[in-house]
A and B are shown apart, each in its own frame.
Chain A
């Protein structure tokens, strides 16, 4: 129907143009030439939504597959984490700063503001006092080992020098086995 109207309008315009041309050539405004692709003569009029074209372009299969997979794997954990964090921030909210009440010893996770930090400090990480004591225990063990090593070196030195300790004993044959009596020949 649209094509039919277009045909009729074009026919009327052509007729007007022919009549105008017969009447006179002087015109105030010359008719504008219709824009046309190079090499074409007239637009084709279909009775449908246009000819079906097979457009040749480079494949986007691999690119779109990559982007789909990327979005999927990021959102697979990203979305639950984002929802959890949003829920915590809106409905639980951060802690408020307060003075430590008299006689009250706060637990070690009550020194953090954000509820997720508090949860991590409470259930996942060790209390800082435990870390501190573990560190000090390691230092103590190493300090005692160093002290023991120095002491053994000193004891070894003294025993070697004085010869009165249990170390640096070399077994010598019994002196009762030696015969000190005078011999008949000098080379016995």
Chain B
């Protein structure tokens, strides 16, 4: 496929992508590929963390790290619900007094979209001595290409999700927005007629 082409397209973070691969012991592990395009952030991170811990294998043992290598692609296309794009804030303290820094999701995605998923997954792993090793098994790429094309990769199928139906207020807002978009598409000539239709529909 595009293995060789892909391998040479990002020489910049090739070093980061292959960093520490030698430290990972067993190569009886599978390489799972997660496509983050259109996935909700937390739900994706939850599945990734289960796979990284090795909890989907019946040979799970809590004292040794047996998780599969996880590759996440299209990290810049990950979605969030609600107002989190502007309202979710990442805080960190530098150690100096008064220096609590913050950054919103929007800025973080502009700066480094892989960090969003990495933080989400890392915070879902148990805080023990295996956490760093598990972090090393996780490789995230913002685009759709990765330098591991020559390995035997397996795509991960996300389990089906029942999306709950919209709350009434949100639903009404959505309908209003749809009506507005339709009006703007149709143009000015039939405006008044359409507005009356829209108002009667919302009232009903």
State whether these chains interact.
no
